[in-house]
Amino acid sequence: MAEPRKSPNSSHTIETAPDELDGLRSQIDEVDRALLEQLNRRAELVLEVGRVKETTGASVYEEAREQRIVKGLVEINPGPFPDAGLGPVFREIISATRSLEQGVLIAYMGPEGTFSHLAAHQKFGRMAGLTAMASISDVFVAVERGAAELGVVPVENTTEGVVTQTLDTFVDADVSICGEVLLPIAYDLASRTGQIEDIKRVASHPQSLAQCRDWLDRNLPRIGRIETASTTAAALMAVEDESVAALCSSVAAEKYELAVCRESIQDRSDNTTRFLVIGKKTPRQTGNDLTSAVFTIRKDEPGGLHRLLQPFAAGGINLTSIHLRPIKGKPWEYLFFLELEGHRSEERVATALGSVASIAHSHRVLGSFPRAGSPGVDRTTRRE
């Protein structure tokens, strides 16, 4: 039967000839075959690149290169294929071809279905080689020892602030920050029955429980709360006990066959967690980078913090965040984690960091890396 369509100059429906529709579909099939041929050609070239990298010791993952690929394609895209679709499409193409190279393994705090797992997929694509770790510190250890080339760890949330375990682990870890991921976070309340009246306890990671605190206080005020190692651990607990509901991702609820009692119960609609990518090599400058460093100052030095920050102001360098953490074993002494705009290889950044190093009691640059979303170019902005 012919498919109806609207005439562009009329509100009347006209019939599309079957042979016209078949012809268009045939052309699409031809384009798809051409795409497949080019994808395989790309894969062959990636294999050659992998052989070169193996002989030179270069890193398999190079975020700046991947960002340039997408940015360049967006800039030359004539349409009608949407700019916004290029990033996700090429992320999966790059992920699939990178999987052909040897030794690409990314560690994350598991098991499958955690938000760290989703962040790793968002960053590296569905074909990425992922390995689940039991804790954040285990992710650091895997990268330090070479069991994984890269790791993904949560560092801060728009509702609950910094993830202290991540900051504390950076102090002694022999890794470098080489990327970031911004992941919108939505929590579903899920259980075996899907009935809210069956819930006797709610389980999740402490950060997750905190990000849904107001909703739980209003709707389940007398229900006990259980802290678990991860949101997926909570989902597995709910699988075993129908009186337990888990705060978890929709992916975890589906994977472990839980019924959703309530969707998206996080207290803030803009709830977002920032993840850092850790590795052993520093990415090259992209022009839209961040640098992270940690410093200590003497507690008996008046104006020490002011003197620590002054070189950044003098150099016109914007500090995007400052966090402090207590130094273990030294009461009332603190580590200052600073993040600033720019790459450590830039002259003005290097000069400021050098000045601060001479003032600080101790210092360490944790890494310079491309900002999340830096390749994104808004078509309407670019073309005006």
- Tell me how far apart the alpha carbons of residues 238 and 193 are, in angstroms, rounded to a whole number: 10
Residue 49 CB burial class (10 angstroms; 0-12, 13-18, ≥19): middle
Q: What is the pLDDT of residues 284-339, one digit of tens each?
A: 888 899 999 999 987 777 778 888 899 999 999 999 999 999 988 888 888 999 99
pLDDT greater at residue 213 or residue 128: 213
Mean pLDDT score across all residues of the chain: 85
pLDDT grade, residue 2 (50/70/90)?
A: very low
% of the chain with per-residue pLDDT over 70: 88
94 in Cβ contact with 125 (< 8 Å): yes
111 in Cβ contact with 132 (< 8 Å): yes
pLDDT grade, residue 381 (50/70/90)?
A: very low
pLDDT score at 74: 86
- Kindly state the average pLDDT of the residues 84-94: 80
Backbone angles phi, psi at 71, to 5 degrees: -60, -45
pLDDT grade, residue 262 (50/70/90)?
A: very high
pLDDT greater at residue 151 or residue 1: 151
pLDDT score at 58: 62
∠ CA 257-153-51 to the nearest 5 degrees? 100
5 pLDDT above the threshold of 70: no
pLDDT score at 10: 46
Q: What is the pLDDT of residues 128-137, one digit of tens each?
A: 889 999 999 9
57 pLDDT above the threshold of 50: yes
Alpha helices in 177-303 (DSSP H): 206-211, 213-219, 231-240, 250-255
Among 77-86, 303-312, 361-370, the range of highest mean pLDDT:
361-370
Lowest-confidence pick of 113-117, 233-237, 296-300, 374-378: 374-378
106 pLDDT above the threshold of 70: yes
Domains contained in the chain, CATH given:
27-98 (1.20.59.10), 103-185+271-279 (3.40.190.10), 189-270 (3.40.190.10), 282-384 (3.30.70.260)
- Tell me how far apart the alpha carbons of residues 323 and 157 are, in angstroms, rounded to a whole number: 13
pLDDT score at 256: 93
What token pair was written down for 177?
């920050």
pLDDT grade, residue 235 (50/70/90)?
A: very high
pLDDT score at 378: 31
Q: Which residue reads 């990671």 in tokens? A: 205
What token pair was written down for 188?
């579903």
pLDDT score at 347: 94
